[in-house]
Amino acid sequence: MVNNKLKRRAFMQGIGAGTIAASLAGCATSSNKTPTNRVFQRPFSRKPMVAPKISANNIVTEIVGHRPYRPEGFVVKSEAFGNKTLVHNYGHGGGGISLSWGSSALAVNEVANVETKEAAIIGSGVMGLTTARLLQEAGWKVTLYTKAMPRFTSSQVAGGEWGPYSVHDPLISSSVFKTQLQQAAKIAHSTFAKMVGKDYGIQWKELYTAGNKKPESEGGFRQYYPYTKVYGPEQHPFPTDYCTSSATMLVETTTFLRRLVTDIRLSGGEFVIHEFTSQDDIHLLAEPIVFNCTGLGSRALFNDEGIMPAKGQLVLLPPDPAVDYLTVGGGSDVLYMFSRNDYMILGGTFKLNDWTTEPDPIETARIISESQAFFSSIT
């Protein structure tokens, strides 16, 4: 059983120990101060700041996803597996979308020098899809074996703000892993930046990270957030003491995953619906190289008891094009607003070892009420 201390540390510290992550550490409780009513000059966008229209009456749906979280960090390594080579690429917590291209590049590099370039990929979440595309670009033949197509995976319900956070517990993870995380983040950010556009559903957005603790001036991922500026009390429109503004990429997962599936198929890749119930099933595959991208499935299939679900709950509202920014923080628990083209996403939760699949109405009510309070001063 994971205690409350680990649960809180997983979100507050495991989010990555970067500048923005440090800001999040002070986001747990909103201040009672009244924000200034003067006109706020946005540092990135030139448009006036418009408050989102948040009401329980406007909820389209509520969704639940389970992040594959490992306090020690994600696993990227290769090993002998009978007469095959098995490459693991799983356990990225809340940073799956953000780290996908980078982690998958590290995984593919594990078998860069093999002669027979045929691979089976187990899992069709974002790790499986990006692994497939990188292999195809290197001349490999790939087949993805999955119990469900991507739109039924946890990747589909991710918020999509680029940030390699909620990935590990820095008090538990090793220095070797921390170096690997930096490598994956660098590759992933560079790759996403080259893909910005409507085709893949990637765009730059203004991000406001609110909290009552003064943000650290430096951090492990600071270099990936241009236009960063820290505001103190009475200098910003939110009901917290501090606010950090920056520019970040937003990945609209519905568009992104759908486009990856199309690219894989156009490049000759195949999807096979199949659920593996034991390692014996994997040994029966014809491909000599197997990539494990099963996320939480690795707990049962590969006996990894270190991986656990981190339940996330989102509230989806109709899109609001006038709201052209994102926010993180300012609530009593996890709180964020991501304005996308398909939905306005309100979150969220980070509940470790919670396998339940239904939305919690208490959490929905909290997300709505705290979001309304957070934006109440913006006219």
pLDDT tens digits, one per residue of 107-136: 999 999 999 999 999 999 999 999 999 999
What pLDDT score does 220 carry?
81
Question: Cα–Cα distance between 30 and 14 in angstroms, integer?
Answer: 21
pLDDT (0 to 100) of residue 218: 59
Say if CB 240 and CB 373 are below 8 A apart. no
Of 122, 156, 125, nearest in space to 272 by CA? 122
Q: DSSP states of 60-112 as a string?
A: -EEEEEEEEE-TT--EEEEEEETTEEEEEEE--GGGHHHHHHHHHHHHHHTTT
- pLDDT tens for residues 161-198? 999 999 999 999 999 999 999 999 999 999 999 999 99
Q: What is the mean pLDDT of the chain?
A: 90
Distance between CA atoms of residues 269 and 98, nearest Å: 23
Give tens-digit pLDDT for 296-354: 999 999 999 999 999 999 999 999 999 999 999 999 999 999 999 999 999 999 999 99
Sketch out the chain's domains with CATH numbers: 4-67+202-251+309-374 (3.30.9.10), 69-159+253-307 (3.40.50.720)
Cα separation, 317 vs 355, whole angstroms: 25
Confidence check: pLDDT of 292 > 70: yes
Q: With beta carbons less than 8 A apart as the criterion, state whether 236 and 42 touch.
A: no
How far apart, in whole angstroms, are the C-alpha atoms of residue 366 and residue 352?
18
How far, in Å, CA of 172 to CA of 360, rounded?
A: 30
Residue 22 has pLDDT above 50, yes or no: no
Pair 33, 239: CB distance under 8 Å: yes
Q: Which two tokens stand for residue 232?
A: 């103190």
Tokens representing 66? 């389970």
Report whether pLDDT(230) > 80.
yes
Q: What is the pLDDT of residue 10?
A: 47
pLDDT band at 216 (very low <50, low <70, confident <90, very high): confident
pLDDT attached to residue 156: 85
- In sequence order, the 6+-apart residues with CB closer than 8 A to the CB of 32 are 239
Residues 99-132: b if buried by 16+ CB within 10 A, e if exposed: bbbbbbbbbbebbeeeeebebbbbbbbbbbbbbb
Q: Which residue's structure tokens are 């309304």? A: 372
Distance CA 127, CA 309 (A): 17
Coil, strand, or helix at residue 128? helix
Residues 6+ apart with CB under 8 A from 369: none
- Provide the pLDDT confidence category of residue 219 given band limits of 50, 70 and 90: low
Provide the pLDDT for residue 310. Answer: 97
